[in-house]
A and B are shown apart, each in its own frame.
Chain A
Amino acid sequence: MTELGGQPVVFRAVAIAAGLLVTAILVAARRLKRDVELEDAEALLRAEFDGDDPSSERRP
């Protein structure tokens, strides 16, 4: 197997791919967090508008 700096090249490629994947997950998580916050705010507004208890609407 080809060696590069003491590590197999294949594993180095796998490590880079995994790093990119983790970065993608981090970016996606930030966007998802924003989406969830928007959903929560929307649920809160809807509950207030309907005159229900917001906490019970938000988390049954």
Chain B
Amino acid sequence: MSLVDDLFDFIGPRPVAAEERSRSRVLLLSAFAALCALVLAAVWGIAAGSSLRHLAIGNALTVPVLLMASSAAALPAGVVVFRMTVPGARGSHLVLGHAGATFGAALVLALLAPLVALFQYSSAWAGPAVALGSAVVGVLVGVLLLVRGLKKLSPDLDSRRKITAPAIVLCVLQLVALLQLAAIAPHVMPQRSVLGRGIDALSPASSTP
């Protein structure tokens, strides 16, 4: 079976025999999912900046960097919490769960990219809203796939209950890192949105960096 089939099996509804997979196979699948996610995120980035050519070209790099850096910021803490809360947990399982979820989220973004590009190109009012909406949908799908993936990788009911803490830590850390990284990154859209202003968006006298 190819890596693509393996990956879709993992993010799909079918149960997987996780404990029969070797660590190398799990990590290879994770690396493949992460690299595919970066390419798919670049596609969404190009669509989100399609109203201006230089923005689209820049986004092909900026959006994957945001995804990669936020994952790198969240994953180590997530793995530590996973190892400390779930009995018999393997760090590679959380890495695969996260990579699968990131791939699923990026796939949703890439599938919505034509719509985002159309609205960004044709409407200055609706374009940013559609792009932000697609990003929110991507995040929601990612969270759902992370929970499903971790449930699949848990051997028993007790472990399944205990994955809540690492899943929450991972999601919160990645979201916070992503939002703050977006604040220091170049504009992804022609105007900086609320999500692109980081923690400063919460302050009454919010300022754009």
Contacts and interface: CB of A to CB of B under 8 A. Distances in A.
Interface of A: 1, 6-8, 10-11, 14-15, 17-19, 21-22, 25-26, 28-29, 32-33, 35-36, 39, 59-60
Interface string B17-40: 100101011011001101100100
Contacts of B84: none
Given A1-B209, A39-B22, A39-B25, A11 B31 contact: no
A25 B28 CA distance: 9
A8 B209 contact: yes
A36 B24 contact: yes
A29 B32 contact: yes
Contact of A18 (B28, B35, B72): B72
Nearest to B182: A11
Contacts of A19: 65
Interface in B1-54: 1, 17, 20, 22, 24-25, 27-28, 31-32, 34-35, 38
A18 B64 contact: yes
Nearest to A39: B22
B27 A28 contact: yes
A14 to B, nearest CB: 5
B136 interface: no
Given A25-B35, A29-B28, A32-B27, 19 more contacts: A8-B184, A8-B209, A11-B185, A14-B184, A14-B185, A17-B72, A18-B72, A21-B68, A21-B72, A22-B38, A25-B34, A26-B35, A28-B27, A32-B31, A35-B22, A35-B24, A35-B28, A36-B22, A60-B20
B36 to A, nearest CB: 11
B181 interface: yes
A59 B17 CA distance: 10
A29 B30 CA distance: 9
B28 A33 contact: yes
